[in-house]
Amino acid sequence: MDKILVANWKMNPVKEGEVIKLAKASDQKNVVICPPFIYLKSISKLLRKAKLGAQDAGWSESGPFTGGVSAPMLKNFKVEYVILGHSERRLKFNETDEMIAEKVKSALTAGLKVILCVGEPAAIRKQGTAAAKKYIAAQLKKDLSKIGNLKLGIGNLLIAYEPIWAISTSRDQSLKETPEIILEMINFIKNNLKSLFINHKSSVLYGGSVTSKNIKRIINHEEISGALVGGASLNSKEFSKIIKLTYARK
């Protein structure tokens, strides 16, 4: 399976001209571009190789949810992927595992490919690997609790391991991610998913601070299916470097 690079632009850029320019520069095979909602339509018209993704989706098809966007709405805008459970949604928007579980169910039911983010905060990581694994196992069990019996599009489920202590916006300088730590956690997630969904061949991405400087030592591992890229995806030159390094032969 080819590696996947997911560009999460978050609440950027501000001007549509910059959006178009960035989208064209990132329009490559096996890339998923996740812009703010208001740019989905304009970007969907110009993409030729990359896939279109969204940064979030509501848990209901429609209803009295001011500011909400539903999974079927996204599907109608030619969106194929959606990021759910991102650490910023959990921390800054107070999204609970119960809310995320409903969103996962809704998105899979609508036929979207879900990129579910899980990852431990610094306080848990400092307690050791066992504590981190326990934390993530609990996240997965809760976040996927609504689809266990229904088997709703399990093949459309991807996981992004996003250690909160390693991402640039909340990095803990006393902790350092290594390929060994990343690989151990990703293998744990894969095995955990197999226990939840028998014979499920899961794709697990890495969602720490991914740059052109560290992408090679992350992506070269067969167990890692790709990367969720944040800030670096907003710099066209940097993201182009990441793309080239990801798909260059070893």
Active site residues: 86, 162
**Residue 51: other Cβ atoms inside 10 A:** 18
Q: How many whole angstroms from its chain centre is CA 50?
A: 16
The encoded tokens of residue 9 equal 């632009």
In this structure, the strands spanning 51-54 and 226-229 are unpaired
Positive or negative torsion for Cα 19, 21, 23, 26: negative
Which residue in the block uniquely carries the two structure tokens 């907003």?
A: 234
Q: How far apart are CA 100 and CA 33, in angstroms?
A: 21
Check whether the bond before 35 is cis (ω within 30° of 0).
no
Phi-psi domain of 238 (left: phi exceeds 0; alpha: psi -120 through 50; beta: other): alpha
C-beta separation of 26 from 7 below 8 A: yes
Reported as type and span, the H/E element at residue 105 is helix 97-109
